[in-house]
Amino acid sequence: MQAHAIVIDTQGGPEVMQWKAVEVGQPGPGEVRIRHEAVGLNYIDVYQRNGTYAMPLPARLGMEGAGVIEAVGEGVADLQVGDRVAYASQPPGAYCSHRVMPARCVLRLPDSIDFDTAAAMMLKGLTVQYLLRRTLPQGGLQAGEFVLFHAAAGGVGLIACQWARALGLRLIATAGTDDRCQTAIAHGAEFAINYRSQPDFATRVREITGGRGVRVVYDSVGADTWEGSLNSLAPFGLMVSFGNASGVVPPFQVSQLAAKGSLYLTRPTIFTHLATRESTLEMGQELFDVVSRGQVKLHIDRRYALADAATAHRDLEARRITGSVVLKP
């Protein structure tokens, strides 16, 4: 059957994205074919488009979507034609009207969650799940403890603010404007720091925590916040570097971790956590639960036609977006 997709023949700026007619076949063993109703936009899409992450070319973009199963391949037991589903998954290719993909990555949606909400929340929400629930300092996190979360007014950050509040954590947010700081607080952050007007945010973190620092920093900004993040940690604290929106972290001496308090460092990725059907189901169920209970509410800032995904990328890179974006096929 014929469908449409965003395809890139070379990596570069938003202008390399082309809306093309493509052929979509029948699902093979262990696969399903999905008709998309909504597609999510994430910063990883920018990295794959601009060359930060190398990709075989030509390539398709997009890591999350929601829609209806149209066909099921041999050996797929727990999904069927007509199911409302959503996913966050490798391989890339969600920027399309229809696609065939591995069934192990696909989750059946509860009736309480609509397609737009699902497309806006899967990759970002599952990212927050593996951060706050699985990527933890020694001994885990207890209610009442401080965490530092950068870019807290973005799609991932606003989910993290709400989920942290539901867990009883005291989240210190950073964002690039006073308005975005206020947005983070409105979504559950206890404190917010404008790291543009206060680039030495670590000093403010120390003030908030009575000089102790935080037990964990969740940092998707990268180069611009790296040093301040390390300086915000308490002894034996955990530095979680899970993105590089401002550029990749420069080379550093491992001995800095010793000098700053025997710190721990990890660079996780969601797809390691989603590598098995069992972990995907477990993580997805926890995300569906907090959304269905209203503990996490998705803020969809904008909707774009999928064919206009290049405009959405420009707005995302220019930081004109607060919260999540949905692309409509």
pLDDT, tens digit, 9 for 90 and up, residues 135-160: 999 999 999 999 999 999 988 999 99
Architecture of 2-124+271-328 per CATH? Answer: Alpha-Beta Complex (3.90)
Q: How confident is the model at residue 288 (pLDDT cuts 50, 70, 90)?
A: very high
Place of tokens 């395809």: 7
Q: What would the mean pLDDT of 50-59 be, rounded to a whole number?
A: 93
Is residue 245 over pLDDT 80?
Answer: no
Mean pLDDT of the chain: 95
Q: What is the pLDDT of residue 114?
A: 97
Q: What would the mean pLDDT of 14-32 be, rounded to a whole number?
A: 97
Q: What is the pLDDT of residue 322?
A: 76
Q: How confident is the model at residue 84 (pLDDT cuts 50, 70, 90)?
A: very high
User: What string of DSSP letters covers 22-73?
Assistant: EE-----TTEEEEEEEEEE--HHHHHHHHTSS---SSEE--SEEEEEEEEE-
Any idea where the domains of the chain sit in the sequence?
2-124+271-328, 136-267
Q: Are 169 and 143 in contact (CB under 8 A)?
A: yes
Q: Are 148 and 160 in contact (CB under 8 A)?
A: no
Is residue 223 over pLDDT 90?
Answer: no
Q: What is the pLDDT of residue 27?
A: 97
- Residue % of the chain over a pLDDT of 70: 100
Is residue 249 over pLDDT 90?
Answer: no
Is residue 299 over pLDDT 90?
Answer: no
Q: What is the pLDDT of residue 174?
A: 97
Q: How confident is the model at residue 246 (pLDDT cuts 50, 70, 90)?
A: confident
Q: What is the pLDDT of residue 194?
A: 96
In DSSP terms, 38 is beta-bridged to: 66
Q: Rounded to whole angstroms, what are the CA distances from 152 to 44, 89, 186, 273?
A: 17, 23, 11, 22
136-267, superfamily in CATH?
NAD(P)-binding Rossmann-like Domain (3.40.50.720)
pLDDT, tens digit, 9 for 90 and up, residues 308-327: 999 999 999 988 887 789 99
The pTM is what? Answer: 0.91
Q: What would the mean pLDDT of 1-16 be, rounded to a whole number?
A: 97
Say how far apart CA 164 and CA 49 lie, in whole Å. Answer: 31
- Residue % of the chain over a pLDDT of 90: 87
